Structure 1
């Protein structure tokens, strides 16, 4: 959980300093993957009854919102070959 969530922040910083569209897209893709992994770990904590959902619900909603923003940004990047 800690590694994936820290990676989101580090890669966000790298996206802001991207030297090319290709680098921007590649790093943004890593951000999407790491954000999704962070959400996975939060969901796992709830499903395994390690943490109650009422404690993590707001955080999970925030991570989901970030994932939506990053995914949309990636989809709207000119280097997106998946279109």
Structure 2
């Protein structure tokens, strides 16, 4: 899934999820929940926010590709 840069910037501006919210996304929607959760985690990382071990485990379980481009994320 490729996201337009304007949409991505809007998400960066608006989204500041709590960890519980991120984890609930995964169970709320089996098809899109994990992808949304990975997007939240990626945005947190780009904003320099701390990624907890719980969220890292979630990311490891569902994948580490860049959710905006679909390509593997650079370390």
TM-score, normalised relative to structure 2: 0.40
TM-score, normalised relative to structure 1: 0.37
Instruction: Report the structure number with the largest CA radius of gyration.
Output: 1
